[in-house]
Structure formats: structure tokens, C-alpha cells
């Protein structure tokens, strides 16, 4: 086999790879277009959550004391939050505590609850409810990583989030690989073509 034939074979192989990668790139983008759009928009919103005023993230209130020794026991604060959520928030929202975010420098504890996106900010020293907040950033985060589907269908044990993040991660890797080759492949083919002409 002559050198020219070898170069022609290399060019043909590169052309086949480029066609395959272009097809993979295009079809993956078509199938996952909506998911990527949701992930992109929710990611932008999460990046801006602390700079969007109170639109996405409620302002953190200030309690009466930052001295932890002056605080009520956490169990008592949790009881106060649970009672308030059960008795004072309309709509029969769950009062089961999901997370507690202790902020000693602010003198408060933030409580979030299972099954919804209402939250409470409680004064650590007095147990007074300082703010009822709508935790929009948590909702956006759950949309971003697929947790929202596991909250809608709670008996799936987190499988949707696992599959969703795996599919999206592998798709991004595929985009990087195919996108790089769609950029590099033609350059390689032109280089082989110039080499062929010189011969």
C-alpha cells in the first residue's frame, strides 16, 4: 500500500468518525434538549439566589442573642417550630422537620419540613417565630438535580435523581468528546489533505 493510499484511508476513517460523532451529538441534544434547558435555567437561578434580593432566598433574620449559653435547648426550639407549623400555617402542611440550619452568628435556627417548601426562622434564645419563609431556592435546587420527581413519587427511594444525574453527566461528557472531535477532526483531515498534495 502506497503512502497516498494510507493517507486516503486515514481521511476516510476520520470522515466516518466525524459523521458518527455529529450524529451522536445532534441526537443526544434533541432527546435531552428540555432537560438541559431546565438544568441550565435552574443552575443560573441557583447561582444568583443570594444576589436576587428576597425573590429566591429569604433574608436571614437576627435573633436576640448570639450567645449559645443563652439559647433554649434545640429540642424546645424544634417543638416550637413543629407546633407553629402544625397550628398556625394554613393548608395542613407537614410539621415533620427535615433539616435544622443553626446560625449562631445570627442568633437563629432555620427549620425546613418534609413534603413542602415552607420554612421557619426561630429565635434561638426565645423560641419566637421570626419569619415564615417560602424556600424557593430549595425548590429550584430540587428541580436542578431531579429530586423533585422523588418528592412527587416518594416511594422510588431516590432512583429518579440517581438516574437523572447519571444520564445528564454522561451526556455532558459525550458532548465534550464529540464536540472536541467535531472541532479537531476537520483540522486533522485538512492537515492530511495538505500532506497528500505535497506528495
Q: What is the DSSP letter of 95?
A: -
Co-location of 69 and 47 in the same domain = no
pTM confidence score: 0.74
User: Is 45 a domain residue?
Assistant: yes
Q: Are residues 49 and 64 located together in one domain of the fold?
A: no
Rounded Cα gap, residues 82 and 2, in angstroms: 82
The whole domain housing 116 covers 59-134
CA separation, residue 75 to residues 10, 109, 131 (Å): 71, 12, 19
- Say yes or no: 1 and 19 in one domain: yes
Q: Is residue 159 part of a domain?
A: no
Residue 45 has pLDDT above 80, yes or no: yes
- Verify that 42 and 73 share a domain, yes or no: no
Q: How many domains does the chain have?
A: 2
Same domain, 45 and 66: no
pLDDT surpassing 70 at residue 48? yes
**The 3-state secondary structure of 79-90, one letter per residue:** HHHHHHHHHHCC
- Could you say which of 134, 157, 186 is where a domain stops? 134
Helix H or strand E segment including 101: strand 97-103
Q: Looking at 79-88, 106-115, 175-184, which range is the least confident one?
A: 175-184
Residue 181 and residue 129 share a domain: no
Q: Are residues 71 and 86 in the same domain?
A: yes
Report if residue 144 sits inside a domain. no
> Other CB atoms closer than 10 Å to residue 67's CB: what's the count?
11
Do 40 and 106 lie in one domain? The reply is: no
- CA 165 to mean position of chain CA atoms: 9
Last residue of a domain, one of 115, 134, 153: 134
* Statement: residue 112 has pLDDT above 60: yes
**Residues 111, 85 share a domain:** yes
The residue whose grid cell reads 472536541 is: 180
Q: Does 41 map to a domain?
A: yes
Query: Does 149 reside within a domain?
Result: no
If one compares 195 and 174, the residue with the highest pLDDT of the two is 174
Is residue 146 in some structural domain? no
In a domain, 113, yes or no: yes
User: Do residue 63 and residue 41 come from a single domain?
Assistant: no
16 within domain boundaries: yes
Residues 4 and 33 in one domain: yes
Same domain, yes or no: 121 and 179: no
List, for residues 68-79, the tens digit of each pLDDT value.
999 999 999 999
What confidence category does residue 43 fall into, taking pLDDT thresholds of 50, 70 and 90? very high
Amino acid at each position: 500500500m502506497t503512502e497516498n493510499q494510507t493517507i486516503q484511508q486515514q481521511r476516510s476513517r476520520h470522515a466516518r468518525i466525524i459523521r458518527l460523532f455529529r450524529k451522536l451529538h445532534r441526537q443526544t441534544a434533541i432527546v435531552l434538549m428540555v432537560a438541559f434547558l431546565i438544568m441550565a435555567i435552574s443552575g443560573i437561578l441557583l447561582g444568583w439566589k443570594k444576589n436576587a434580593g428576597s425573590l429566591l432566598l429569604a433574608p436571614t433574620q437576627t435573633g436576640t442573642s448570639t450567645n449559645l449559653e443563652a439559647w433554649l435547648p434545640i429540642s424546645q426550639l424544634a417543638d416550637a417550630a413543629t407546633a407553629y407549623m402544625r397550628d398556625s400555617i394554613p393548608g395542613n402542611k407537614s410539621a415533620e422537620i427535615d433539616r435544622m440550619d443553626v446560625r449562631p452568628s445570627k442568633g437563629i435556627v432555620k427549620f425546613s419540613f418534609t413534603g413542602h417548601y415552607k420554612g421557619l426562622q426561630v429565635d434561638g434564645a426565645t423560641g419566637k417565630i421570626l419569619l415564615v419563609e417560602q424556600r424557593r431556592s430549595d425548590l429550584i435546587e430540587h428541580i436542578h438535580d431531579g429530586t423533585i420527581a422523588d418528592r412527587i413519587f416518594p416511594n422510588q427511594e431516590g432512583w429518579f435523581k440517581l438516574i437523572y444525574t447519571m444520564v445528564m453527566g454522561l451526556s455532558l461528557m459525550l458532548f465534550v468528546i464529540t464536540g472536541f472531535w467535531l472541532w479537531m477532526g476537520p483540522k486533522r483531515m485538512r492537515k492530511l489533505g495538505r500532506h497528500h498534495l505535497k506528495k
